[in-house]
Chain A
Amino acid sequence: MWVYEKKLQYPVKVSKCDVRMAKYLAEQYGGADGELAAALRYLNQRYTIPDKVIGLLTDIGTEEFAHLEMIATMIYKLTKDASPQELEAAGLGPHYVSHDSALFYNNAAGVPWTAAYIQAKGDPLADLYEDIAAEEKARATYQWLIDMTDDVDLQDSLKFLREREIVHAMRFKEAVEIIKADREQQKIY
């Protein structure tokens, strides 16, 4: 079970009325390497991974939901006061037709999220290497998102999220070392 704290992991402040950014931020909301994909990937893989790294997947998967909530806040703040015409001007006309200004799990190009984005192979190394790759791809996505805005407050939140991807990748790499560890151990009988 989870315990919910009704606050964001890190503050989200959006200072520039730039509806266009909402469309791009969707990549981290419902994209292949977005926060939803990350959370569901880790929280599902953890059942069939060796005991020593289950807790890591639980913790990181949970944090990804906290990140998802931050991304949702950014998108909501940027779209909630936009008219249909303003949404259309920002490239969100097709989104408006399908969802009004509701959030939806699709990527920046409007492609809906699919479970085909994630994998659970049951092999601890295959799963952990996928997780590392996902973190690095998410880090890159955050970099390109930071490049697309000049709102320093939005950049600040995005920089926090980018840094967390780096830390997560490090933790997953350590988990790989834990999985490999037996090879180095001298067995004395």
Chain B
Amino acid sequence: MNNQIRSWQPFRSPLDPCPPILVKTYVVPPNQYMVFQPMNLPQFPLAEALRAGTLWPALYSPYEPRSRKGEPQ
């Protein structure tokens, strides 16, 4: 499970017209916790770094498409 995802439960009224989305989510990427990037962080192998978009696993933030309604988040 992606530990960069935060979730919260919006107010749900019994009179809401549509079937509810009970839990909403947002992403907090790792740069939010890094004031200055430390020197000599571990690095991805080059091919993997290209795919990830960053040289450093510490900055990597995956994002998967939002699940369709009814499927698990």
Interface residues, chain A, with chain B CB atoms under 8 Å away: 13-19, 77-78, 80-86, 151
7 contacts between A and B (CB under 8 A): A14-B16, A14-B17, A18-B17, A80-B16, A81-B69, A84-B66, A85-B68
CB < 8 Å neighbour of A86 from B10, B15, B69:
B69
CB < 8 Å neighbour of A80 from B10, B15, B68, B69:
B10
Per DSSP, are chain A's interface residues mostly helix, strand or loop, or mixed?
Answer: loop
For the complex, is B18 an interface residue (Cβ under 8 Å from A)? Answer: yes
- Nearest CB of chain A from residue B64's CB, rounded to whole Å: 13
Question: Cβ of B17 and Cβ of A15 under 8 Å apart?
Answer: yes
For the complex, is B20 an interface residue (Cβ under 8 Å from A)? Answer: yes
In this complex, the interface size class of chain B, counting residues with CB under 8 Å from chain A, is: 10 to 19
- Nearest CB of chain A from residue B58's CB, rounded to whole Å: 27
Measured between alpha carbons, how far is A84 from B65 in the docked complex, in Å? 10
- Nearest CB of chain A from residue B35's CB, rounded to whole Å: 28
Question: Cβ of B66 and Cβ of A83 under 8 Å apart?
Answer: yes
Within 8 A of A (CB), among B2-35: 10, 13, 15-21
Contacts of A83 in B (CB 8 A): 21, 66, 68-69
Question: Cβ of B66 and Cβ of A80 under 8 Å apart?
Answer: no
Measured between alpha carbons, how far is A13 from B16 in the docked complex, in Å? 8
Contacts of A15 in B (CB 8 A): 15, 17
Question: Cβ of A16 and Cβ of B66 under 8 Å apart?
Answer: no
- Nearest CB of chain B from residue A161's CB, rounded to whole Å: 18
Measured between alpha carbons, how far is A78 from B16 in the docked complex, in Å? 8
Contacts of B66 in A (CB 8 A): 83-84
